[in-house]
Structure 1
């Protein structure tokens, strides 16, 4: 029997967590069906809490819980919720349409949105002012997940003065073409990321030059991704515990190594939950709205990514090749999560944090 989808706790009461049960059941039912997951994300986006508004921990619990059900579902929900939050931070009101950009107007609460801010060698997207308050996009943007299935995107583009800014764009507008990516990955197979080309596409500015990267929400959004990774790690830990319990029911009690690794896994998960809870409180208290926000994001992301990899390692070592070869849900989760956490740039992000630490951005 398939186990019941369960919420992931960071700081909420059991009663509040229990309220997520219908959503998590719907996510479980929709897993693998991207249009259905996007529809659920749109529904959730209308009422989901936003970072910095008193509900940061609840938002992260939502993201972690969805990802614990299905990592790819978390990969659908997170960018949509981030895009809706970005538009709100820029002053677009709830229910307000982003002005038409060559196609139909897109309302953040109703459309399916993505966030495309990655850069790639040999690819460049330029934004040129058209004299009417809007901009025209020309060029290409890499790593645009699910672009062909989305209605709109918040993306970054290069300005004539050398800076970068964010723009809202209608992905159905004339001049937008989405490549079919050669996605050979075994992880996140239903979430292909490819290149999108823009040829004279009108776009609406979202904040001014540099705003996208300078706002505290940039750091908060990065920590929201880490909450998804955390949810994936919780799911792997639950797989491990369930496997040991099932083996014990059949007379094969776990040895000390298995118990030690389960204990280590428990320490890791419990420590991460506490760290995320404290960080969410600091965000809502206004303590991470300035220059230290990105340093804390780097700490959170690096700590969670390393913990995820450790949990995956100890669980895989203990359970061996069997579930990877024959348990579809477990194998998919491990593959999805391994690819998802590669959004963290490992030692390069640590080097960035080290540079900030050397300048005095630390608490010790």
Structure 2
């Protein structure tokens, strides 16, 4: 996997819109490469926010889950991690990763070198078709030396946790643009029937709404980087997910099975985006958003 680690502006430093636009452009071109690049960019931001002064360089991933299936123990020679962590994008590409683990004082984040014999991606654990190239295999940690990054609970407790979630939505938006490009090209290449043109109009409306909420989110993050961005992230992610799902559906209804069966690039984009969107927690996120709105000012 030949992906150059991206150099993107940090979120909340005045150029968050540029960060999101860059992720969107990557997603429009190649969702797999975008997924890996987003993980590296997120790791860079996390390390900056938590004051990690460890080694520079490398290709980073964020293999974090809360709660975590990985355990951390501190011994005479420092921290060691053990356990299997599923869903690790760039399992072979990453030279280093940020990994959450359960320690005696809570869930901590650790920097780990992705090298044997202590860290091993497990063959056969990513039999995917969509996003297959992301190589999101399960990784096994066996007494892996680790360096703590931040303190207990700090990874998920910082505003940047939600900024990263919005960054993922920017990737989804790029994927949706890539799918929509097929319909737009068909409209310009040949006359579409009125129903297909109506689908193209609806796609424009959906993408316009998604782009607007991403731009608004970037402005809000830069205006107040320390604000709790949880509700903002839930709203943006749900908006972009709905738009991307509508794009997939309308492009298919407008053009039929032809592009899915005869255009390998389009078929792969649709398959990749369908899988990537399932990183959303769907109705669970909507329920959390509704619960928050029941006790807070929505500021509509």
Shorter-chain TM-score bucket reads over 0.9
- Of residues 23, 38, 51, the one that matches 1:91 is 51
Distance in 1, Cα, partners of 2:294 & 2:227: 18
Q: Deviations over 1:192-240 (max 9, x none)?
A: 2221111211211111100000101100000000000001111111211
- Residue matched to 1:332: 268
Distance in 1, Cα, partners of 2:148 & 2:116: 16
Whether 1:186 and 2:186 are equivalent positions in the alignment is no
User: Comparing both chains, which one has the higher relative contact order based on Cα–Cα distances under 8 Å and sequence gaps of 6 or more?
Assistant: 2
- Residue matched to 2:178: 235
- For structure 1, the residue ranges without an aligned partner over 5 or more in a row are 1-33, 98-106, 248-252
- Residue matched to 2:230: 294
Q: Deviations over 1:310-355 (max 9, x none)?
A: 0110001111111100101100100010001100011111112222
- Residue matched to 1:349: 285
Q: Secondary structure at the match of 2:26?
A: helix
- Residue matched to 1:68: 28
Distance in 2, Cα, partners of 1:362 & 1:181: 46
Using structure 1 for the length normalisation, give the TM-score: 0.79
- For structure 2, the residue ranges without an aligned partner over 5 or more in a row are none
Distance in 2, Cα, partners of 1:242 & 1:112: 36
CA RMSD in angstroms, aligned pairs only = 1.7
Aligned length in residues: 300
- Of residues 130, 143, 155, the one that matches 2:99 is 155
Distance in 2, Cα, partners of 1:181 & 1:166: 27
Q: Deviations over 1:224-277 (max 9, x none)?
A: 000000011111112111012112xxxxx2222112111111111112112111
| Aligned 8 A contact 1:165 1:211 in 2 | yes
Q: What is the deviation of 1:185?
A: 2.3
Distance in 2, Cα, partners of 1:167 & 1:263: 47
Q: Secondary structure at the match of 2:288?
A: helix
Superposed, 1:93-132 pairs within 5 Å as 97=55, 107=56, 110-118=57-65, 124-130=69-75
Q: Secondary structure at the match of 1:118?
A: coil
Superposed, 1:1-364 pairs within 5 Å as 34=1, 36-37=2-3, 40-41=4-5, 44-45=6-7, 48-92=8-52, 97=55, 107=56, 110-118=57-65, 124-130=69-75, 134-161=78-105, 163-172=106-115, 174-247=117-190, 253-286=191-224, 289-291=226-228, 293-360=229-296, 362-364=298-300
| Aligned 8 A contact 2:108 2:152 in 1 | yes
| Aligned 8 A contact 1:295 1:361 in 2 | no
Distance in 1, Cα, partners of 2:264 & 2:178: 14
